[in-house]
A and B are shown apart, each in its own frame.
Chain A
């Protein structure tokens, strides 16, 4: 075993493998940094190049891409409040507030250090667990997946700030949204309104980009200010962040372990791991003077970043050891293994063991190299948080909409981004926690499928004979009690709660309370006609959601009644500007439909800078030319994007 371990190291440092690993890392860093892209996109592009290559260099190229996307996805999460990939959603919670406080460099230092350590620990865990692989993975069955999902839902209170009833209603809305499309064990799609785009449900990337990106860009555009709301403070440096991560070494190890374990379980992956890690840290005791979670606590960045980089090491364990890919990205990797002549499973644990260990070393080297590279440029990246928001908005809009398009190439994806953007804006204004909605949306399919499968395969007596089920059920009860207790304790002292109260009674919040109550109630009737496995979940979610939304609505109405009447009840300028921004985005989508995406995106960039931000014509043209070049080089030439066929054409 030791010989194979060292042999694997030798393979990684045999020329030209280091070159390909470096190329993969560079490509992976770029993919992670652009919102909406990610490792899967990269590997789909790279895969054809690996055919005919020697096995180890090909693996180095592929794994280099996968290993570091979860490191560089921090950039968008911290700087823009937009998850760079699905695995960095929780990083937004404290990363973006840190950037707003002028602490982006410190957040980067902490995140990259935690990512590197998490990635290295993931690799080592993979090496250590290979002999124990079968019992380790097979002990976790379908009922345990359901309980783990339920455990994840207890984090709603944690990510809800002070607005628990709104958080619960938002989580129920996320769960209900996850019910759109084909159910697990039935052939009739649900809530799809005969729209083909919805037959498989809402795709995650456009939903998340809409919920987070559009409201933040709207905020920057309307405020006409930089991301950071304070002056530059050089003491909040990269090295301070590195020290934060090292000082919290025990947290890094715990969260890396969470990432490894969740990565190992098929069907979960990075997007669950980073929420679980965030929930773990947010439920832990804060030191005196430490900021609240959700307001820029560096530990809220360290936890998810340790976990999401460790996921890959964990995910490789069943893929390599049992030939079971736990996620879409692992399925692609499994396909690549097969084409490269490897036999995941017993052969990779015996005759191909040296190659298996080379994967471990690749993970370790790639994570350290990737984090190091990012640290070199993080000071410059952090400076972007002090740049005028007007310079950031059009570029980010371009990448956000192209990211959504790349994920699901349909004009409906753009409409989804806009729709969820409007919803995210209302939630932000009304003090409704957006992460709670995403949490429900992500956990819904995991919980429903494991519930339906367990229902068919297990009886109550079987469940009582499963020690891990019992342990998780106990943990679930403890987590629930803890969540309720900490919510009640925080009731009167939390600044988040105070902020939430200040937003209580906001028209946006009242509108959401009304709209969600009505939606939940309307969702009940069609579900009554569905087969039991298809209706069980929605019929639990919808009434509960209606109840939570109604409580939030009543609370808002009471808050509004107790508030003095405004002297000037006319519409406020911020609302008008925000509506104007959303209309401009809607117009961009209409232009894309009519004349194609390049015209729409470049036109949006030029008009935004020229008319809204009032930049000089030279600067506007320069920026618009850059946008056009990015579309051509990145999306046309590198990503081979297939563009929307314009409904109208200048040359027909």
Chain B
């Protein structure tokens, strides 16, 4: 943004000058993106980053405001966007937690059919740990079995990152302790640096956005594996940045001699695809006119392919978020109405046992 534009913008803000109206649907308009987490986290940063490029793909080049509406166990932002006027000027970019909400308490359930989906965006999940645990040096996943003193640092018992981490270690037969309640990733990283915990499951964006540099490159930790995400055609997606890092599936195969299967792995897959594959739901409240909805969907998809956005996203989060189109998202939402009882049972029992 040129310097003069910024100064003019600030001056306009100060003077309260209204934007000019014009003929184009979005010309002179301001689109409000409601996020349900704080402005500084990965949700806010990615929404803001995307909005900067999205405007160029919408005729009329509207302005965007990213507005955090936090609270209510992330429900406040969802409710705010759902109740907004369906005029195409308020969008939701929300951390949706669809799978865990579907099997959680009624107060946290969301009827997603009250939204029209524009897209889903996801960030793969991965694990890393300290390289000195219980007096032993860890060089890779093969050192995990038999390790004593492994301590998983978690967000809260119902967080999918906690659940995936605990289920993965159980699937591998690794003994571990569990410290949860840190609430956010940076507190876990700090505890890991203080050696209070030594194993952490994190969105890859956070890993590439700072953990790699401050833990791994600082010589106190190593990455272990990532969790594969499947695209619409079933092929893995979102692999940028992982290089030679093994997937969790391959780690299980290597350590147990067989591909992963069974109810525990089904639960991991369900959580991974539904939570990491779709970290954010981008939607408008139901009732937006079809032309506007189509415009938003098309421009969103075009922005995902925009090299400038991809470059900025890679620079900021280490990789481009995985894009899920509206049709696939609708199918996923439909699937949440009938969760496999075995998976639901596994997940709820882990939440219950993790609540101390």
| A interface, CB within 8 angstroms of B | 16, 23, 40, 43-45, 47-53, 57, 134, 137-138, 141-142, 182-189, 194, 196-197, 199-200, 203, 266-267, 318, 322-325, 328, 330-336, 338-339, 341, 343-347, 408-410, 449, 452-453, 456-458, 531-534, 632-633, 636-638, 640, 642, 645
Asked whether B196 lies within 8 Å of A141 as measured between CB atoms, the reply is yes
The interface stretch among B59-67, B228-236, B247-255, B277-285 is B59-67
- For the side of the interface on B, what is the size category? 35 or more
Q: Is B138 an interface residue (CB 8 A)?
A: no
Asked whether A142 lies within 8 Å of B38 as measured between CB atoms, the reply is no
Q: Is B197 an interface residue (CB 8 A)?
A: yes
**Chain A contact residues, majority secondary structure:** helix
Residues of B within 8 A of A183 (CB): 181
Q: What is the CA–CA distance of A532 and B181 in the complex, to the nearest angstrom?
A: 13
The interface stretch among B111-119, B151-159, B265-273 is B151-159
Asked whether A187 lies within 8 Å of B197 as measured between CB atoms, the reply is no
In the assembled complex, 24 residue pairs joining A and B whose CB atoms fall closer than 8 Å, in A order, are A23-B10, A43-B39, A48-B52, A134-B193, A185-B157, A185-B180, A196-B72, A199-B75, A318-B190, A322-B193, A331-B186, A332-B39, A335-B40, A335-B41, A336-B40, A339-B48, A410-B76, A449-B181, A453-B182, A458-B196, A637-B16, A640-B65, A640-B67, A645-B83
Q: What is the CA–CA distance of A194 and B106 in the complex, to the nearest angstrom?
A: 11
Q: Is B241 an interface residue (CB 8 A)?
A: no
Residues of B within 8 A of A200 (CB): 70-73
Q: What is the CA–CA distance of A183 and B180 in the complex, to the nearest angstrom?
A: 11
The interface stretch among B212-220, B289-297, B327-335 is B212-220
Q: Chain A: which residue is nearest B66 at the CB level?
A: A48
Q: What is the CA–CA distance of A199 and B13 in the complex, to the nearest angstrom?
A: 35
Residues of A within 8 A of B6 (CB): 49-50, 53
A611, chain B: closest CB distance, angstroms: 30
Q: Which 5 A-B residue pairings sit nearest by Cβ, starting from the closest?
A: A637-B16, A332-B40, A185-B181, A331-B40, A52-B1
Asked whether B71 lies within 8 Å of A323 as measured between CB atoms, the reply is no
Q: Is B21 an interface residue (CB 8 A)?
A: no
Asked whether A199 lies within 8 Å of B190 as measured between CB atoms, the reply is no
Asked whether B38 lies within 8 Å of A328 as measured between CB atoms, the reply is yes
Q: Is B173 an interface residue (CB 8 A)?
A: no
Q: What is the CA–CA distance of A410 and B69 in the complex, to the nearest angstrom?
A: 10
Q: What is the CA–CA distance of A590 and B117 in the complex, to the nearest angstrom?
A: 36
Q: What is the CA–CA distance of A264 and B76 in the complex, to the nearest angstrom?
A: 31
A224, chain B: closest CB distance, angstroms: 34
Find B40's partner among A52, A325, A449, A645 (CB 8 Å cutoff): A325
Residues of B within 8 A of A324 (CB): 186, 189-190, 193
Q: Is B210 an interface residue (CB 8 A)?
A: yes
Asked whether B45 lies within 8 Å of A339 as measured between CB atoms, the reply is yes
A15, chain B: closest CB distance, angstroms: 10
Q: Is B351 an interface residue (CB 8 A)?
A: yes
Asked whether A338 lies within 8 Å of B45 as measured between CB atoms, the reply is yes
Number of A-B pairs, beta carbon distance below 8 Å: 199
Asked whether B210 lies within 8 Å of A531 as measured between CB atoms, the reply is no
Q: What is the CA–CA distance of A190 and B15 in the complex, to the nearest angstrom?
A: 45
Asked whether A457 lies within 8 Å of B151 as measured between CB atoms, the reply is yes
Residues of A within 8 A of B70 (CB): 200
- With A199-B73, A322-B214, A343-B210 in contact, do A331 and B49 touch (Cβ < 8 Å)? no
Asked whether B40 lies within 8 Å of A328 as measured between CB atoms, the reply is yes
Q: What is the CA–CA distance of A332 and B66 in the complex, to the nearest angstrom?
A: 13
Q: What is the CA–CA distance of A191 and B155 in the complex, to the nearest angstrom?
A: 22
- With A323-B214, A456-B356, A636-B16 in contact, do A533 and B194 touch (Cβ < 8 Å)? no
Residues of B within 8 A of A341 (CB): 315
Cβ < 8 Å to A, chain B residues 1-40 = 1-3, 6, 9-10, 13-18, 30, 32, 38-40
Q: Is B44 an interface residue (CB 8 A)?
A: yes
Asked whether B71 lies within 8 Å of A185 as measured between CB atoms, the reply is no
A44, chain B: closest CB distance, angstroms: 5
**Chain B contact residues, majority secondary structure:** mixed
Find A408's partner among B10, B71, B104, B218 (CB 8 Å cutoff): B71
B95, chain A: closest CB distance, angstroms: 14
Residues of B within 8 A of A339 (CB): 45, 48-49, 316
Q: What is the CA–CA distance of A343 and B210 in the complex, to the nearest angstrom?
A: 7
Q: Is B145 an interface residue (CB 8 A)?
A: no
Cβ < 8 Å to A, chain B residues 310-356 = 315-316, 351, 354-356
A-B contact sample (5 more), CB < 8 A, given A187-B105, A332-B39, A453-B182: A23-B10, A142-B196, A187-B104, A335-B45, A637-B18
Q: Chain A: which residue is nearest B74 at the CB level?
A: A200
Residues of A within 8 A of B1 (CB): 49, 51-53
Asked whether B40 lies within 8 Å of A199 as measured between CB atoms, the reply is no
Q: Is B137 an interface residue (CB 8 A)?
A: no
Q: Chain B: which residue is nearest A530 at the CB level?
A: B355
Find A199's partner among B83, B107, B214 (CB 8 Å cutoff): B107
Q: Chain A: which residue is nearest B196 at the CB level?
A: A457
Q: Is B68 an interface residue (CB 8 A)?
A: yes
Q: What is the CA–CA distance of A546 and B198 in the complex, to the nearest angstrom?
A: 41
A459, chain B: closest CB distance, angstroms: 11
Q: What is the CA–CA distance of A204 and B51 in the complex, to the nearest angstrom?
A: 31
Asked whether B157 lies within 8 Å of A48 as measured between CB atoms, the reply is no
Q: What is the CA–CA distance of A52 and B354 in the complex, to the nearest angstrom?
A: 44
Residues of A within 8 A of B48 (CB): 47-48, 51, 339
Q: Is B178 an interface residue (CB 8 A)?
A: yes
Bitwise, B198-217 to A at CB < 8 A (1) or not (0) is: 00000000000111011001
Residues of A within 8 A of B178 (CB): 456
Residues of A within 8 A of B299 (CB): none
Residues of B within 8 A of A185 (CB): 156-157, 180-181, 354-356
Residues of B within 8 A of A199 (CB): 71-73, 75, 107
B17, chain A: closest CB distance, angstroms: 8
B184, chain A: closest CB distance, angstroms: 8
Q: What is the CA–CA distance of A57 and B2 in the complex, to the nearest angstrom?
A: 12
Residues of A within 8 A of B68 (CB): 44
Q: Chain B: which residue is nearest A456 at the CB level?
A: B179
Q: Chain A: which residue is nearest B11 at the CB level?
A: A23
- With A185-B156, A325-B40, A334-B40 in contact, do A452 and B181 touch (Cβ < 8 Å)? yes
- With A47-B39, A453-B181 in contact, do A346 and B214 touch (Cβ < 8 Å)? yes
A571, chain B: closest CB distance, angstroms: 40
B246, chain A: closest CB distance, angstroms: 25
Asked whether A638 lies within 8 Å of B194 as measured between CB atoms, the reply is no
Q: What is the CA–CA distance of A44 and B44 in the complex, to the nearest angstrom?
A: 10
Q: Chain B: which residue is nearest A455 at the CB level?
A: B356
Residues of B within 8 A of A40 (CB): 39
Asked whether A409 lies within 8 Å of B69 as measured between CB atoms, the reply is yes
Q: What is the CA–CA distance of A194 and B73 in the complex, to the nearest angstrom?
A: 13
Asked whether A51 lies within 8 Å of B67 as measured between CB atoms, the reply is no
Q: Chain A: which residue is nearest B6 at the CB level?
A: A49
Cβ < 8 Å to A, chain B residues 156-186 = 156-158, 177-184, 186
Asked whether A266 lies within 8 Å of B190 as measured between CB atoms, the reply is yes
- With A323-B213, A457-B196, A457-B197 in contact, do A49 and B69 touch (Cβ < 8 Å)? no
Asked whether A266 lies within 8 Å of B181 as measured between CB atoms, the reply is no
Asked whether B213 lies within 8 Å of A142 as measured between CB atoms, the reply is no
Q: What is the CA–CA distance of A347 and B10 in the complex, to the nearest angstrom?
A: 31
Asked whether A453 lies within 8 Å of B73 as measured between CB atoms, the reply is no
- With A49-B9, A52-B1, A187-B355 in contact, do A633 and B157 touch (Cβ < 8 Å)? no
Find A187's partner among B13, B157, B187, B210 (CB 8 Å cutoff): B157
